[in-house]
Chain A
Amino acid sequence: MIVESFFGSFGGRYVPEVLRTPLDELETAFREAMEDETFKNEFARLCKNYIGRPTPLLFAENATEKLGGSRIYIKLEGLANTGAHKINNAIGQALLAKRLGKKRIIAETGAGQHGIATAAVCAKLGLECRVYMGEVDIKRQHPNVFWMELYGAEVVPVGSGSRTLKDAVNEALRDWAGSFPDTHYLLGSALGPSPYPDMVREFQSVIGKETEKQIAGMEVEALVACVGGGSNAIGFFYPFIDKPFPRLIGVEAGGRGSLIGDNACRMDGTGKIGIVQGYKSLFLMDDDGQLQATHSISAGLDYPGIGPQLAGLGKKGRIEFKKASDTEALDALRFFARNEGIIFALESAHAGAEAIKMAHNGDPEKALIVNMSGRGDKDIFISAMALAPRDWILFLKEEMKIYEG
């Protein structure tokens, strides 16, 4: 069934009454579209010509040799147009919005990658676009704001709550409650009220379907993906979830420590069952049910909830959850840049970090497949500050001099 809605006890559609109408309408349209060859062909055509699919699977030969264990392969989602997997879902939903006759798109964004993908797709398909982004994220991902605006989107700062991704989701939901007759909410991860988790997974499963073909004949130990809300992970894992092999490993943001507020690990026992932003899942919250602050060096993993299907598969034991710290992610960023000439997005570098750990002790006959969900150009202000602060600060000062002078 394409719309499962519940995954074990997780999922559902827990929204204010006003949002039932647009969600019912969306579910119907989605079901119909997925049976419609014209729709599927249009999606496939844009995947090929606009996104640049299929994305390659690279054998990371130097990295493998250096680590001296399992063979590392990298699925290069970062080569997709706009730099991350987010565009797979953006294209799918934007086509659906057109099918529904919607003229306007709203979206939330954390790192800015989903916002960029949505803004680009709206430019391509001729849709009006507004992106909600937390004020904290706007500060740490300013270049992405510039790109979104260049694509013609309106970027609206969100100053409520913790001023990050979760608050941008809240604001988009509020907008939609009043605007749904002409507006589609293009949610960026495999979470939120049904049918979003099913729909986002379906559009992102293009990653897993390609990977399945690309690894045919290989002995694969595990697939490894980072987990923010969970869209790249579930899309990558999807063709394998009903099989016993390979191992499926989701990597959460270990941040700067194990105290609440210092990381975004929901699946290490810290997450509690809650109903937030339309779905039941595991969330970082206090005893009263108030969501807690999270931290990650990567804005895209800095979110207190996890998509319901991943939570369900975690509970079942099909997906194993690990964590990588801010520092480990930066180390992985450097490692793959030096050895493979590839710059991971900081989010994806968390998966890279886990692959490095696993490869060390791994079987040389077996492969580890890492999903590089995005490329790291967007992170220059964070990565440069963390890895080469003196030079970077000097550069920034010099730049300022030019403008002030």
Chain B
Amino acid sequence: MKGKLMAHLVASYPNYDSSLAIVEALVRGGATMIEIQFPFSDPTADGPVIQDACRRALDGGFRVDDGFRLVKEAALLAPVFIMSYGNIVFSRGIEDFVAASKDAGALGLIIADLTPGYDGGLYRAGRSAGMEIIPVVVPTVTDKRLEEITSIHPAYIYAAMRVGITGKRTDFGKESIAFLGRLATTGARILAGFGISSGEQVALLGDAAYSPVVGSAFVREIAKGGDYLERITALTAGLVSG
């Protein structure tokens, strides 16, 4: 049986049209959800691969409106989540950003540096507009903090499978499964990401989480150039079939 897979890309990387073609290539390969990152000039939670992609998208003239345009087109192919940083949301106006995400057909928002308690009103805005706001949880989370997070009843939780930033490979051990086990009790759908690049990892997570998330592995493939669309489709297919 083919599993779920949330595939991540950076909007307008390497350019707008190509990023739309990338969405198609990911869906063709079997991605069941798409996470579109809106580039920010100062992505502090991202490693060099995604940083570089964001930089290039911005140098190419990416505007937040392009991001929403891409979401709208991608949402015709698969459920779409938007990932970005607080300043992009805040500069637009939190309510406006949520409304624009809704209009574009996005299912949820993952905003790395707006966390429950320090969200600038994002969770409230999401609730009143019917937009899922997805908190990130890390393995070092305390029970008290986890309780705080689950008290807002998120439909999804993004589980970062290790501390640190995106890009580096994560080794899964007993602790990873235990972490996911802890999260399973929250009743939320767990999206598990950070350092996932092999079918083996995906298969392992497929059982313990709602869906694995793969990001830097795709971006790395695009950065190599050449006929990356075909390679991305093949990579996706390989990941979902374990």
| A interface with B by C-beta (< 8 Å) | 12-18, 20-21, 160-161, 166-167, 170, 173-174, 177-178, 180, 272-278, 280, 283, 285, 287-291
Give the A-B pair count, Cβ closer than 8 A.
107
Q: Chain B nearest CB: distance from A110 CB in Å?
A: 15
- Asked whether, in the complex, the Cβ of B91 is within 8 Å of the Cβ of A16, the reply is no
Q: Which residues on A sit within 8 Å (CB–CB) of B185?
A: none
- Asked whether, in the complex, the Cβ of A166 is within 8 Å of the Cβ of B42, the reply is yes
Q: Which chain B residue shows the least CB distance to A174?
A: B165
- Asked whether, in the complex, the Cβ of B42 is within 8 Å of the Cβ of A170, the reply is yes
- Asked whether, in the complex, the Cβ of A288 is within 8 Å of the Cβ of B64, the reply is yes
- Asked whether, in the complex, the Cβ of B118 is within 8 Å of the Cβ of A288, the reply is no
Q: Chain A nearest CB: distance from B164 CB in Å?
A: 3
**B212 at the A interface (CB under 8 A):** no
Q: Which residues on A sit within 8 Å (CB–CB) of B120?
A: 14, 275, 280
Q: Which residues on B sit within 8 Å (CB–CB) of A12?
A: 118
Q: Which residues on B sit within 8 Å (CB–CB) of A174?
A: 44-47, 164-165
One of B16-24, B98-106, B140-148, B174-182 at the interface: B140-148
In the complex, A401→B165 CA distance in Å?
Answer: 46
Q: Which residues on A sit within 8 Å (CB–CB) of B163?
A: 18, 177-178, 180
- Asked whether, in the complex, the Cβ of B114 is within 8 Å of the Cβ of A14, the reply is yes
In the complex, A276→B87 CA distance in Å?
Answer: 6
- Asked whether, in the complex, the Cβ of A160 is within 8 Å of the Cβ of B55, the reply is yes
Q: Chain B nearest CB: distance from A311 CB in Å?
A: 15
Q: Chain B nearest CB: distance from A240 CB in Å?
A: 30
Looking at chain A's contact residues, is the secondary structure mostly helix, strand, loop, or mixed? mixed
In the complex, A285→B41 CA distance in Å?
Answer: 10
Q: Which residues on B sit within 8 Å (CB–CB) of A290?
A: 40-41, 58
One of B28-36, B74-82, B131-139, B215-223 at the interface: B131-139
- 10 more A-B contacts (CB under 8 A) besides A274-B91, A275-B114, A276-B42? A13-B118, A17-B138, A17-B141, A18-B160, A20-B115, A21-B138, A177-B163, A275-B113, A276-B86, A290-B40
**B51 at the A interface (CB under 8 A):** yes
Would you give 21 A-B contacts (Cβ < 8 Å), ordered by A? A14-B114, A14-B115, A17-B115, A17-B138, A17-B160, A18-B136, A160-B52, A160-B55, A161-B55, A173-B44, A174-B164, A174-B165, A177-B164, A178-B163, A274-B87, A275-B90, A276-B86, A278-B113, A289-B64, A289-B91, A291-B41
In the complex, A238→B211 CA distance in Å?
Answer: 51
- Asked whether, in the complex, the Cβ of B165 is within 8 Å of the Cβ of A15, the reply is no
**B187 at the A interface (CB under 8 A):** no
**B48 at the A interface (CB under 8 A):** yes
Q: Which residue of the partner chain, among B40, B55, B136, contacts A16 with CB atoms under 8 Å?
A: B136
Q: Which residues on A sit within 8 Å (CB–CB) of B46?
A: 174
- Asked whether, in the complex, the Cβ of A18 is within 8 Å of the Cβ of B138, the reply is yes
- Asked whether, in the complex, the Cβ of A289 is within 8 Å of the Cβ of B55, the reply is no
Q: Which residues on A sit within 8 Å (CB–CB) of B114?
A: 14, 275
In the complex, A15→B111 CA distance in Å?
Answer: 10
In the complex, A275→B44 CA distance in Å?
Answer: 12
- Asked whether, in the complex, the Cβ of A15 is within 8 Å of the Cβ of B88, the reply is no
Q: Which chain B residue shows the least CB distance to A166?
A: B42
Given contacts A17-B141, A177-B165, A289-B87, contact A277 B44 (CB under 8 A): yes
